[in-house]
Amino acid sequence: MSMPGISLRQIGFLVALSDELNFSRAAEACNVTQPTLSAGLRELEGTLGVQLAERTRRSVIMTPVGREIAERGRRLLIGAQDIETLAAEQSKPHAGDLTLGAIPTIGPFLLPRALPRIRDAFPNLRLFLREEMTESLLDGLHGGRLDAVVIAQPFEIGNLETAFMFDDGYHLAAPPSQAEVPDGAVTGEVLTGKRLMLLEKGHCLQRHALSAYPGADIRPDESFSATSLSTLIAMVSEGLGITLLPDLSIDAGAARGSQLRLAPLADACPRHVVMAWRKTSARAGLFRDLAALLTQSRDAMRTA
Amino acid sequence: MSMPGISLRQIGFLVALSDELNFSRAAEACNVTQPTLSAGLRELEGTLGVQLAERTRRSVIMTPVGREIAERGRRLLIGAQDIETLAAEQSKPHAGDLTLGAIPTIGPFLLPRALPRIRDAFPNLRLFLREEMTESLLDGLHGGRLDAVVIAQPFEIGNLETAFMFDDGYHLAAPPSQAEVPDGAVTGEVLTGKRLMLLEKGHCLQRHALSAYPGADIRPDESFSATSLSTLIAMVSEGLGITLLPDLSIDAGAARGSQLRLAPLADACPRHVVMAWRKTSARAGLFRDLAALLTQSRDAMRTA
DNA sequence: CATGGACATAGGAATTTCCTATCACTGTAA
DNA sequence: TTACAGTGATAGGAAATTCCTATGTCCATG
């Protein structure tokens, strides 16, 4: 294993530059001055023997190799940080910073309830929470911006490790006026031929809700799309249509105060809510513990 | 992406130490003096905040974290080297050093014939060849000791990329005395109930030959095992038993000069010979080209 | 034409690196 | 027991590197 001629610092410069496409901003991101970054990149180009970025006076354009190397470099930096994290986890288990992402149809209903429990179990953990849609979460995970994410399967997992947390079924939500929705539990039959109001494109709930009854003739109401579950609930209250709401959101009280008719759909295919992280992550143990805590929190909401 | 506190150089120290378990030898491997490595490792332990190695006066023992971090570090170094290789490949395509491994039942018969062709096509490539058994080759590949390997499927590929090269069938090889083996092509039936002499444990040809006729009652001759194909051929010549020889070795003239009776087994399941390399390798293009050249060389042997 | 923002360059101070020389210790062999 | 060989740690200083400030040069824009 011969010694590398390049340094992580220089790789960091390259990655920052490929993100910012601007020497000064990249330098700032690296906590160095612009000349330092400039020299560092020049030296990297020297040792590698290839041009990594085209500098015109006005803009920076990465060369194809530059882009490729920046991408590999990003993975390298993540690996280096994993090593540091691993060491930190070793000396102070379950402490330090953790950036956790969650999809908007789960995060706001689950995490606030779970926070006391988490704080209690891991008092030295500083939790940074983010809500994004699945695709963005997975990007962030692979790019090192996020450490772990809470998402709903089915979805295309890449090179990820997952821990199952709980299944999340659906309630039918209809305006109080809509008498065709009975009180109490109903089955998927009431939905046949109906049009559902859904969240806007990109939310996995959209896709999942439509496949809650595989083969059934359930279609989206193309004329509406909501940006959040609370908007959706408001729209249903206004009598604009019906929708499926995740059980979790209802148990969390999202529909409390509104005049919805809610009926559990016991026979719907539930979503599988999981915690996911990079296979190479240094804190799989923490993530698994965290997943268990979130499962507990969800169970507590059910019985309450 | 915050800047790492550790350096590749220090990681290199750790990896070398975990390989050598001796500061002086590790230092030599890193081309530094022992005090330098000593200080570097101490500093690494300082920034990581964990002890990586226990130093007694008499020996070095890696701590569990030390081992884990060394393993991750090794992957990091490979990634860094891949970047350098990628850059080199960019500025001088298909040049530089390449360490190619091959199993002993293929390498010696294929590579010598192919060398002129390779030299011709890639005059700036310096090829280092190694012959090892499959398991060792795969280890070397993942550990960065080898860049690409030539092996025979089926086998458990890990995170590898492969390029198919050619199928390699079998000839039945028997002593000249053994009249039960007819001249000309034969089918698997002649083998039923027979005992085959094979290479010693670890050679994939052993396993492959026995499964050339799935379901057939062919068993190894436990009392013999050869260390190389030429030994095996000599043993058959001596009348000690019969065996299956790969077509490639015969076309390469391995049995030339011996008194074997050779009969092609047209209906045997052939081995699939492939080139394999790390998915993350920077020279997939070169490897694919090389595989094509080797396929050509093999075909040339057939027609000749 | 003046301006602001971009990246490159220069020079020097501060830091870091890394070597040689040496120490302190410990098993081993005479 | 003593001498020795081999281990990793330590010290000190020379050399190299790093990285900042200040400045230069070019270009697009108003």
According to DSSP, the β-strands at A60-62 and A53-55 are: antiparallel
Residues in B touching A81 (Cβ below 8 Å): 2, 4
10 Å CB burial of residue B221 (0-12, 13-18, 19+) is middle
* B116 beta carbon to strand C: under 7 Å: no
B69 touches chain A (CB under 8 A): yes
Residue B68: the pLDDT is: 92
User: What is the CATH number assigned to the segment(s) B170-265?
Assistant: 3.40.190.10
Q: Is the pLDDT of residue A266 over 90?
A: no
Residue B254: the pLDDT is: 86
Closest CA to B281 of B147, B165, B163, B151: B147
Mean pLDDT for chain A overall: 88
User: What is the Cα B304 distance to its own chain's centre?
Assistant: 27
* Interchain proximity A88–B49, CB inside 8 Å: yes
Q: Give the CATH number of domain B92-167+271-303; options: 3.40.190.150, 3.40.50.10490, 1.10.3720.10, 3.40.190.10.
A: 3.40.190.10
Residue A14: the pLDDT is: 93
State pLDDT tens for residues A12-29. 999 999 998 888 889 988
Question: Burial letters for A13-51: b for 16+ Cβ neighbours within 10 Å, e otherwise?
Answer: bbbbbbebeebeebbebbebeeeebbebbeebbeebebe
- In this prediction, residues B27-52 reach a mean pLDDT of 90
Of the pLDDT bands very low, low, confident and very high (cuts 50, 70, 90), residue B304 is low
A46 touches chain B (CB under 8 A): no
Residue A57: the pLDDT is: 65
Strand boundaries in A109-255, DSSP class E? 125-131, 148-153, 160-168, 170-174, 195-196, 219-220, 243-246
Of the pLDDT bands very low, low, confident and very high (cuts 50, 70, 90), residue B101 is very high
Q: What token pair was written down for A154? A: 């089915």
Fold match, A93-165+272-303 / A170-265: yes
Closest CA to A128 of A102, A164, A105: A102
Pick the more confident residue, A292 or A202: A292
User: What is the CATH number assigned to the segment(s) A8-87?
Assistant: 1.10.10.10
State pLDDT tens for residues B239-259. 888 999 999 999 998 888 788
- In this prediction, residues B81-108 reach a mean pLDDT of 91
State, as a whole number of angstroms, the distance between the CA of B39 and the C1' of D9. 9
According to DSSP, the β-strands at A60-62 and A243-246 are: unpaired
Long-range residue pairs from A113-120, CB within 8 A, at least 24 positions apart, any chain: A113/A252, A113/A297, A113/A300, A113/A301, A114/A293, A114/A294, A114/A297, A117/A293, A117/A296, A117/A297, A118/A290, A118/A293
Residue A183: the pLDDT is: 66
Q: What token pair was written down for B266? A: 């047209």
Domain boundaries, chain A: 8-87, 93-165+272-303, 170-265
Residue B181: the pLDDT is: 65
Residues in B touching A12 (Cβ below 8 Å): 1, 3-4
Closest CA to A214 of A268, A156, A155: A268
State, as a whole number of angstroms, the distance between the CA of B73 and the C1' of C26. 32
Residue A256: the pLDDT is: 84
Distances (CA, A) of B100 to A155, B71, B97, B155: 39, 23, 10, 18
Q: Is the pLDDT of residue A152 over 80?
A: yes
According to DSSP, the β-strands at A148-153 and A271-278 are: antiparallel
Our CA-based measurement puts residue B50 at a distance from the nearest CA of chain A, in whole angstroms, of 6
Segment of A232-246, B49-63, B165-179, B284-298 carrying the highest mean pLDDT: B284-298
Calpha distance A108→A267 (Å, rounded): 25
State pLDDT tens for residues A26-79. 998 899 988 999 999 999 998 899 889 888 766 788 888 999 999 999 999 999
Closest CA to B143 of B175, B173, B200, B99: B99
Calpha distance B264→B169 (Å, rounded): 8
- In this prediction, residues A112-135 reach a mean pLDDT of 92
State pLDDT tens for residues B122-155. 999 989 999 999 999 998 998 888 999 999 988 7
Cβ-based neighbours of A209, under 8 Å, separated by 6 or more: A170, A196, A198, A243, A244
Residue B233 near residue B136 (C-beta atoms within 8 A): no
CATH class of B8-88: mainly alpha
Calpha distance B145→B142 (Å, rounded): 8
Q: Tally Cβ neighbours within 10 Å of residue A266.
A: 11
Our CA-based measurement puts residue B42 at a distance from the nearest CA of chain A, in whole angstroms, of 14
According to DSSP, the β-strands at A271-278 and A160-168 are: antiparallel
State, as a whole number of angstroms, the distance between the CA of B35 and the C1' of C23. 13
Q: Is the pLDDT of residue B180 over 70?
A: no
* Interchain proximity A49–B4, CB inside 8 Å: no
Give CATH superfamily name and number for A93-165+272-303: Periplasmic binding protein-like II (3.40.190.10)
